[in-house]
C-alpha cells in the first residue's frame, strides 16, 4: 500500500495505491486522519490505483469521511475501478459519500 499526499489549492489530494485490506487499512486510516489533524477539511481520495478494498478498508475511509463531515468539511472519492465502485455501491457508500468519476470533478465538488 502506498499513500501519496498533495495539494490542489485548499483541497488535499490523497492518492491510494494497492490493496486496502486488513493488512493495510491502519496505514490508510492513519494517513487520512493525520491530514485531518493538520487541518484538512476538503479532501479528495483518489482510488485510481486501488485494486481491492475489504470491509476493513471501507471502515477506514468511512471514518475519515465522517471526521471531515463533522467539521463541516467535504470529502470526495474519485477514479474508482468498476470492482471498487461495485463494492462502494453494494455497501451503500455511494449514497452517503460523494463519488466522482475524475479527479478534477472531485476537486470541484470539494471546492463548491
The model's pLDDT over 24-52, given as tens digits with 9 standing for 90+, comes to 999 999 999 999 999 999 999 999 999 99
Q: What is the mean pLDDT of the chain?
A: 95
**Model confidence band, residue 112 (pLDDT cutoffs 50, 70, 90):** confident
- Please enumerate in sequence order all residues whose Cβ is within 8 A of that of 31, keeping only pairs 6 or more positions apart, or say none: 3, 5, 14
Domains of the chain: 2-111 (3.30.750.24)
What is the pLDDT averaged over residues 52-74? 93
pLDDT at 57: 95
Determine the pLDDT at residue 84.
96
pLDDT at 82: 97
Amino acid at each position: 500500500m502506498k499513500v501519496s499526499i498533495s495539494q490542489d489549492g485548499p483541497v488535499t489530494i490523497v492518492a491510494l495505491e494497492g490493496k486496502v485490506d486488513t493488512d493495510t487499512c491502519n496505514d490508510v486510516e492513519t494517513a487520512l486522519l493525520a491530514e485531518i489533524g493538520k487541518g484538512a477539511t476538503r479532501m479528495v481520495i483518489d482510488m485510481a490505483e486501488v485494486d481491492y478494498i475489504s470491509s476493513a478498508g471501507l471502515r477506514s475511509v468511512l471514518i475519515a469521511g465522517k471526521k471531515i463531515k463533522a467539521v463541516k468539511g467535504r470529502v470526495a472519492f474519485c477514479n474508482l475501478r468498476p470492482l471498487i465502485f461495485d463494492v462502494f455501491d453494494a455497501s451503500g457508500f455511494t449514497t452517503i459519500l460523494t463519488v466522482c468519476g475524475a479527479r478534477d470533478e472531485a476537486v470541484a465538488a470539494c471546492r463548491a
